[in-house]
Structure 1
Amino acid sequence: MVWPAILRLAYPPPPSVFITAITVIGGVGLANGGLSEIRGTHMKYSKFWNVHSPVREARVTSRTGMLAVYMPAFVAGAASFWIFPAGEGLRFLLLRAALTLHFLKRVLEVLFVHKFSGFMAVDSMCVVSLSYFFFTVNSIYILYLSRHFPEPSIDLTYPGLALFLIGVAGNFYHHLILSRLRSAGGNKEYKIPQGGLFSLVTCPHYLFEIIDFVGLSFISQTIYGFVITLGTIIYLIERSYATRRWYLSKFDDFPRHVKALFPFVF
């Protein structure tokens, strides 16, 4: 009963042990990363990492680290237009375009929007960069392998495109708000964000990131896409919880009615 219902929404997975393994490992890894955030073991960048605490740990400036995080995935998405021939269908075209735009936006934000003052550990940089790169490559390749399978009976391509564009726009808007809280020149002072959905939740940029990933999974309609999106949602729920807890610990006047991620709920 469950499997036929799943196949109404997704392509059957390609018969590959490797693809099954990367699907399971990717989803579980993201969920476990979220649990680590709640336990206080954070990725070594942003406000959660004290750069002075690790001894003799290789690090780069935050701007350099974030460019290294996003650039390989962007290049992979852009290269897919050259690697794969045209004529594989609208869904395949839209997925490649959406993934490329997703990471191009992030690269441009690093270059022109975000203000950086700290450092990023090289090990965290490598882990996140590889995860984004393999997510992009795997998403494109798995959909390419699925092109001769029967289409899911429920077509989510256009709802997915709409959600993706809403997610990208909302995420960018709230990143602009965050960037205006920090002055250029290395000021490390943190402030309580205001404007947009920050009056309702601590991490509206994560909320729109989730909408973005749901849109990507709807465009692809692969088991891999849905599993990675579920793992991403779990990770961002838990990181937003850790972010709200951090604000509460730093600001006595942080509004208690502001939730972590979902307005009025959590």
Structure 2
Amino acid sequence: MAILVSILSRVAFPPPVTCLLVRVMSVAFLLFSVTGVFEGLGKNFQYSKFFNLNVHKSTSKQIRLSSRIAMLIVYTPAFLYAIASFWQLPNVGLRSLLVKPALTLHFFKRILEVLFVHKYSGGMAVDTVIIITLGYFTTTSITIYALSLTQGFPEPPVDLKYPGVVLFLVGIVGNFYHHHLLSSLRTKNDNGYKVPKGGLFGLVTCPHYFFEILIFLGISFISQTLYTFASTISTICYLMGRSYATRRWYLTKFDDFPKDVKAIIPYVF
């Protein structure tokens, strides 16, 4: 524990003693990391294709939206808040000038992908849409707010914001490229699943998740607040569990799926 505290004191701003919300949400995200275990065990969220394969009859009575409309609803509030934050909250030096555009670009890319890249099948329950929308909005707003609370604090001894910019840009480009590869697998009237090829798909099942992790690592490195580190750890755990479930699903569904392809980290996991 002492080693962890020492590391955090060098790479993160101290927690804001005047804001209980940020501290509570930081702990909540660390606890949320356990969802990665549930994803890996097959206890999937309702927007997952794995959930749809084993959907319970009771869910047929739920109000459902088309996946495209649902994902637009999911991403738009966080995108609008990121834009509004340029005027709503003060800039705290260069970090704010980097984090706000990064979050805006991230959700703008997601909206563009929903409109022009992704091909969807099925739908999403309204209650699931609400939960995920609140999750993205809360994460975005508190990330920016927590950074604004660092005003007047000395910079962490280890400056990670420039490596963070590099990680974020690599993540954005890599994530978009592999989403494009996934989308190109389906023709207009084809709703089936195929084994993805190209890019890093020869090494891992979910390279788009790998690059999404780089996006959030980049944002946490730029801001260097305990909250963003906590939310990033939670995201990493969830995406690792989800990628593990995806790899297991491909192994079950496709006899020719390569056994040496890992889940999310090339040659490792």
Query: What corresponds to 2:82 in structure 1?
Result: 77
Give the Cα–Cα distance (whole angstroms) in 2 for the partners of residues 125 and 183 of structure 1.
27
Measured on the aligned residues, the alpha-carbon RMSD in Å equals 1.4
Query: What corresponds to 1:215 in structure 2?
Result: 218
Say whether the 8 Å CA contact 2:90–2:148 is kept in structure 1: no
Give the Cα–Cα distance (whole angstroms) in 2 for the partners of residues 144 and 24 of structure 1.
19
Q: Give the alignment's TM-score, normalised by structure 1.
A: 0.95
Give the Cα–Cα distance (whole angstroms) in 2 for the partners of residues 107 and 195 of structure 1.
24
The alignment status of 1:261 with 2:261, answered yes or no, reads: no
Query: What corresponds to 1:193 in structure 2?
Result: 196
How many angstroms does 1:18 deviate by?
Answer: 2.1
SS at match of 1:49: helix
CA offsets 1:116-166 (integer angstroms, 9 cap, x no match)? 121112222111111110000000001001121111011111110010000
1:122-133 correspondence to structure 2 within 5 Å? 122-133=126-137
Identity of aligned residues (%): 54
CA offsets 1:208-233 (integer angstroms, 9 cap, x no match)? 01111110000000000111111111
Query: What corresponds to 2:35 in structure 1?
Result: 33
Letter in 1 for 2:141: V
- Equivalent of residue 160 in structure 1, options 164, 182, 187: 164
Query: What corresponds to 1:183 in structure 2?
Result: 187
1:84-95 correspondence to structure 2 within 5 Å? 84-85=89-90, 88-95=92-99
How many angstroms does 1:85 deviate by?
Answer: 4.1
CA offsets 1:243-266 (integer angstroms, 9 cap, x no match)? 001111111111111110111111
Structure 2, unaligned stretches of length 5 or more? none
SS at match of 2:60: coil
SS at match of 2:61: coil
Give the Cα–Cα distance (whole angstroms) in 2 for the partners of residues 41 and 126 of structure 1.
19
Give the Cα–Cα distance (whole angstroms) in 1 for the partners of residues 34 and 48 of structure 2.
19
1:110-125 correspondence to structure 2 within 5 Å? 110-125=114-129
The worse-fitting range, judged by mean Cα deviation, of 47-56 and 127-136 is: 47-56
Give the Cα–Cα distance (whole angstroms) in 1 for the partners of residues 12 and 76 of structure 2.
29
Query: What corresponds to 1:19 in structure 2?
Result: 22
Give the Cα–Cα distance (whole angstroms) in 2 for the partners of residues 83 and 117 of structure 1.
38
Query: What corresponds to 1:142 in structure 2?
Result: 146
Letter in 1 for 2:133: S
Aligned length: 263
Say whether the 8 Å CA contact 2:204–2:266 is kept in structure 1: yes
Structure 1, unaligned stretches of length 5 or more? none
SS at match of 1:148: coil
Say whether the 8 Å CA contact 1:167–1:211 is kept in structure 2: yes
Give the Cα–Cα distance (whole angstroms) in 2 for the partners of residues 74 and 160 of structure 1.
20
Say whether the 8 Å CA contact 1:14–1:146 is kept in structure 2: yes
Say whether the 8 Å CA contact 1:46–1:118 is kept in structure 2: no
Say whether the 8 Å CA contact 1:9–1:221 is kept in structure 2: yes
SS at match of 1:50: helix
Letter in 1 for 2:214: I
